[in-house]
Amino acid sequence: MADVSSTVRRFAFTAAQGGVTAAQGFRSSALHCGIKAKAGALDLIVLASDAPSAVAGIFTTNLVQAAPVIVSKRHLADNRAHARAIVINSGCANACTGPQGLADAEQMTREVAAGLSCDPHHVLVASTGVIGVNLVMDKVVPGIRSAVGSLARGKGNEAARAIMTTDPFPKEHAVVVHTDRGSFTVGGTAKGSGMIEPNMATMLGFLTTDAHVPPPLLRRALIESARDTFNAITVDGECSTNDALFAMASGASGVAIDEESYPALLDALTSVSRELAIAIVRGGEGATKLITVTVHDAPTGDEARQVARTIANSPLVKTAVHGADPNWGRILCSAGRSGVRFDPDRATVHVGGVLLFENGLPHDDAAPAAAEHLKTPDVRIDVTLGSGGGASATIWGCDLSAEYVRINGEYRT
């Protein structure tokens, strides 16, 4: 990754190794405790900070919320935005599991707290997998005890692999931020492949930094960075029960973040989150193509996002991209039903930089060039609304293939 800096920003990034444990003050452990049927498949993770860290979290907007989401929200309200650890399992969502599910999630936090000698409210919990199935705590509890006893640096990749469900590959990224106050690191990992839709995406995400960040600033940076990263992706337009995104700040680097240095933290969180978010879409269930939809010259940024999201979520657009069909009509019609007002006679549609629609008329002679672009794994769709507002936004999505239908038709069986 190239350095990025300017005399105005006074900071630069360099790529780092280590993922979610790249930042100082964090250790992790991942193992197979038996939630996943496949022998040896990693399915339990503990991510811990060496000392109480500032923490922030944002969660699914679905009214149906899993037990770990409910418990983590409670703990965040009770722990004054500080935490020691997050315990995560894959293979079972612990969602729609009633009082027993809540009790199991609470027990998971107590087991980690006992091992770290901290208050259970300083432990958060996240789960991913099949909905409506209870955890087998006779397997989970010994797994947690073993994981807490084997925490170490340098295990970030194991954590990235352990949170996977239908993900085709692990996702992790980290950067070192060089500032005039010193250097600090931001790292992270995420999972997600199906049931992906903004607000939040159906995913789990974990970000860490060794900067010293007051909890209000950390929450602000997490929300702002997620807006155009984790909340700007879609695979199938489905919002899940378990979505959660956490950020922890250990302060171990000694670099303090305040209003003046806040842009460095925000840009670093955004940089790491963008890499992870795009990787989620690239690894979407059955996906063969990443689609970048950018809407230009909308009245406001929110309206630009609304149009771009509608296009990216359209099954007709997604299938046209899958079949390399430069069907600009589907794109324009999706924009038209987005709820954002614009004049179609002032709009333009480009696919891969090829102009297909302008001033209310098609450019069908350019269709073959656009079709060639649609055969590539990275597809660009640009729609200009011509509103004069000047706002733009990007949403990342993927194509819709028969493999997506197969995966989800057989998910529980």
Angle between helices 215-227 and 262-282 (to 10 degrees): 40
Which CATH number is associated with domain 290-409?
3.10.20.340
The pLDDT mean for the chain works out to: 92
Mean pLDDT along residues 150-160 = 95
Range list of H helices, 88-212: 98-116, 137-149, 156-162
What whole-number percentage of the chain has pLDDT above 70?
94
Written as one letter, the residue type at 110 is: R
CA dist 394 and 11 (Å) reads 25
pLDDT band at residue 284 under the 50/70/90 scheme: confident
Tell me the domain boundaries of the chain: 11-282, 290-409
The reported pLDDT for the residue numbered 9 is 62
Instruction: For residue range 53-70, list pLDDT tens digits in order.
Output: 999 999 998 889 999 999
Instruction: State whether the Cα torsion 276-58-408-319 is positive or negative.
Output: negative
Residue 8 has pLDDT above 70, yes or no: no
CA dist 73 and 109 (Å) reads 13
What whole-number percentage of the chain has pLDDT above 90?
84
Which three-class secondary structure state does DSSP give residue 311?
Answer: helix
Which CATH number is associated with domain 11-282?
3.60.70.12
Q: Confirm if 190 and 156 have CB atoms less than 8 A apart.
A: no
Q: Residues near 208 by Cβ (< 8 Å), separated by ≥ 6?
A: 20, 21, 22, 23, 26, 47, 49, 186, 187, 188, 247, 248, 249, 250
The reported pLDDT for the residue numbered 35 is 97
- Among candidates 298, 270, 287, which has minimal Cα distance to 404? 287
Mean pLDDT along residues 155-184 = 94
Tokens of residue 75, six digits:
């703990």
**Which residue in 21, 109, 165, 202 is the catalytic one?**
202
pTM of the model: 0.91
- Please report the DSSP string for 364-398 in residue order: GGGHHHHHHHHTSSEEEEEEE---S--EEEEEEEE
HSE, CB side, 13 Å, CA atoms: give it for residue 374: 23
Residue 73 has pLDDT above 90, yes or no: yes
Residue 307 has pLDDT above 70, yes or no: yes
Mean pLDDT along residues 349-355 = 98
- 270 as an active site residue: the answer is no
